Chains A and B, each alone.
Chain A
């Protein structure tokens, strides 16, 4: 459904240019969960933003193509692209604290995007917003929809963000480190929620993370990036068992060094 070809993004300042994304190519099938793994500064978030053409100056996309069902998003007029963003592709960010507007109730914020993209009236949009909160397993969604973001915990806020992202029934959901700011037990719940959502709606998901553990639990395939380049790509089982790139090996070694054998024994 999505085909990224030789995508490059550059950040420019005076005469200095830094390639944040360098000739990145990958594909995504219908209903697939693809992981993008890398350390901080690897360019994984920049890839996500570039897919939706959300790179802000001084950054700019310097080359490549992003085909969504055969249409190149990078060549699409802005007016058309607005209909794709949020409706066909939506995004969940790392920090649910800063991505919700504190002065509107969560119901209003979800309903707004439904009205905007699907042309529903106020009432229908609101009842759909409540349905969405129910879908992401927020208890008592009817009255919770009238609450403000500060009345939700971190994990609940991230559920609201996911509800908002799913509200317009997108074909593709891009999640950028959506559990990094959360406690371990909540993180596990949110990862489970992504699995349930994928199974229920058969949507495609791009999941960006620095954690190979989460990618193993969630994704079908993985693209490993470092310094803006793709180091390797393949099935998650394959890459974790037999990494071809030295960089992937190094990262996995670090994770295994930390993984206390004891924990593994308890879990298996």
Chain B
């Protein structure tokens, strides 16, 4: 598979704080890269750098096969409650990126893609459940036909049964549209469900990287082992 995004020696400092201390990461077309780490490990900083919302202190990010970053790289946020404007109807929220980028409005199609009824376009965010709001967040992220999607803790504020529904939907969409995902989560079981490869981050570095099987079943780093031991399984 061709390389879609290549992160080389990226360092990001905020004042005296080094948030990222030299990251190298290749994302290949069609894969889901799981990025796991605890709060403050630099996961979201890396996401913002890849989206070019912030610039690295040093290092480079190459985009192969992506010409328009703003259009082709999108993000789904953790909290669908705060990432949707409470005063804007769902339909308008989904349509906004298409209006700004002056492309054909396909709200109905997008709602169908995330398995919400067409009449939800008329509703306000508060009339939706947490899972439904996250579906709206996904529809909006898909509105500009992206190639690459960053999922930043997309299910961590949801109940377990809703988590499974959303993860299934994300899997389906990726399959149907041939997307590449960077999937950020702190929960290994959620990461394991969706990812092909897993990168473990700690204190601004990637300390372990491998296939899902390698990282979860045969972790090399003590910290990865500790993370696995800390997850409460049934």
Contacts and interface: CB of A to CB of B under 8 A. Distances in A.
B133 interface: no
B217 A184 contact: no
**A interface majority secondary structure:** helix
A146 to B, nearest CB: 25
B191 to A, nearest CB: 8
A210 B193 CA distance: 19
Contact of B186 (A183, A212, A213, A254): A183
A263 B189 contact: yes
Interface string A201-222: 0000000001111101100000
A188 B188 CA distance: 14
Given A250-B161, A267-B228, A259 B234 contact: yes
A188 B230 contact: yes
Interface string A231-255: 0000000001000000000111011
Contacts of A212: 234
Contact of A265 (B39, B159, B193, B217): B217
Given A260-B193, A263-B233, A266-B216, A184 B161 contact: no
B163 A188 contact: no
B227 interface: yes
B210 interface: no
Interface string B32-47: 0000001100000000
A214 B216 contact: no
**Best-buried of B167, B192, B219, B226 by chain A (most CB within 10 Å):** B192
Nearest to B188: A263
Contacts of B225: 266
Given A39-B160, A258-B190, A213 B227 contact: no
B112 interface: no
B161 A263 contact: no
A214 B189 CA distance: 14
Interface string A163-190: 0000000000000000000011111100
A240 B234 CA distance: 8
A255 B161 CA distance: 8
Nearest to A218: B232
Given A213-B231, A240-B234, A255 B192 contact: no
B104 interface: no
A119 B160 CA distance: 45
A224 B188 CA distance: 25
A262 B192 contact: yes
Given A183-B38, A187-B232, A260-B216, 9 more contacts: A39-B159, A39-B161, A184-B186, A240-B234, A258-B190, A258-B192, A258-B193, A263-B233, A266-B217
Interface of B: 38-39, 130, 159-161, 163-164, 167, 186-190, 192-193, 212-213, 216-219, 225-234
Interface of A: 39-40, 183-188, 191, 210-214, 216-217, 240, 250-252, 254-260, 262-267
7 contacts: A184-B188, A210-B159, A217-B232, A256-B234, A260-B216, A263-B228, A264-B233
